[in-house]
Amino acid sequence: MTLGFKRALHCQKCLSTCFDEKPACPPSTSGFSSAPAALPPGWSFIWSRRIPNKVKVFGWKACRNALPTLENLACRRATITNVCATCQLPGEDLAHILLTFSFSRQVWAISNLPMSIISCWSLDAEHWFRQVCHGLSSSQGDLFLLMSWMLWKNRNKRLMGGMGKLALKVVNEVICQLQGYTKCIASLAPQQCPKIEHLS
């Protein structure tokens, strides 16, 4: 019992160290900026979402600058050409993939999410995700995170030589996935038992 408890404490310390690890590359400053705002601390803006866990993990990794963008791979001295595979612009960072890339802007425009909130890249990915989720409603925040994940997934497919999807198809697929997931979660919710009145 004592050995197991010590191992648990050791694992907890290791996890804390991992979560507090600083990103390998400096924050991106890709053409968008705004004054930093006081936003709620913690990670509930991601983990409390009613979206698939793989999308939550993507959002958390994006905020920690832990996704293998070409910019991050170059910072880790990988032998790559840091040029966007689609538009051939140099410096493929997360801001380019999710926001400044022309295809991404098409997707956001079709999604009907407020561009006035989404288009303000601020400081780094974490602050941008926090700022956007804080400015959107709960359902819009779910859609935003799922849309970001789909843009990342579409980018990976193009990078591997595949054909990416059209912007309208990406948006429709995200909406269908979100509706299906929400419906599934609602069907699994525990049923409330009717109250029984005690006879006097």
pLDDT for position 122 = 72
Sign of the dihedral defined by the CA atoms of residues 21, 148, 45, 180, in that order: negative
Dig out the tokens for 70 from the structure. 């070409």
Who has greater pLDDT, 149 or 7? 149
CA distance 115 to 105: 9
In a domain, 113, yes or no: yes
Q: SS3 for 108-156, per residue?
A: HHHHCCCHHHHCCCCCCHHHHHHHHHHHCCHHHHHHHHHHHHHHHHHHH
Please, what is the Cα angle at 157 between 163 and 169, to 5 degrees?
Answer: 60
pLDDT at 196 over 80: no
In a domain, 73, yes or no: no
In a domain, 88, yes or no: no
In a domain, 44, yes or no: no
pLDDT at 10 over 70: no
In a domain, 108, yes or no: yes
pLDDT at 3 over 80: no
pLDDT for position 114 = 94
Beta-carbon count within 10 A of 35 CB: 7
Who has greater pLDDT, 105 or 13? 105
In a domain, 7, yes or no: no
Count of domains observed in the chain: 1
Please, what is the Cα angle at 96 between 95 and 100, to 5 degrees?
Answer: 95
Confidence class for position 79, pLDDT limits 50, 70, 90: confident
pLDDT for position 154 = 94
Residue 60 belongs to what domain range?
52-66+101-182
Average pLDDT along the chain: 80
In a domain, 22, yes or no: no
Q: Which of 66-70, 186-190, 196-200 has the lowest mean pLDDT?
A: 196-200
pLDDT at 5 over 90: no
CA distance 122 to 46: 18
In a domain, 95, yes or no: no
pLDDT for position 39 = 59
Percent of the chain with pLDDT over 70: 74
| φ, ψ dihedrals at 83, nearest 5° | -135, 135
Who has greater pLDDT, 3 or 163? 163
pLDDT for position 13 = 44
When pLDDT is averaged across residues 62-80 and rounded to a whole number, the result is 92
Q: What is the pLDDT of residues 18-63, one digit of tens each?
A: 333 334 454 444 444 344 445 567 899 999 999 999 999 999 999 9
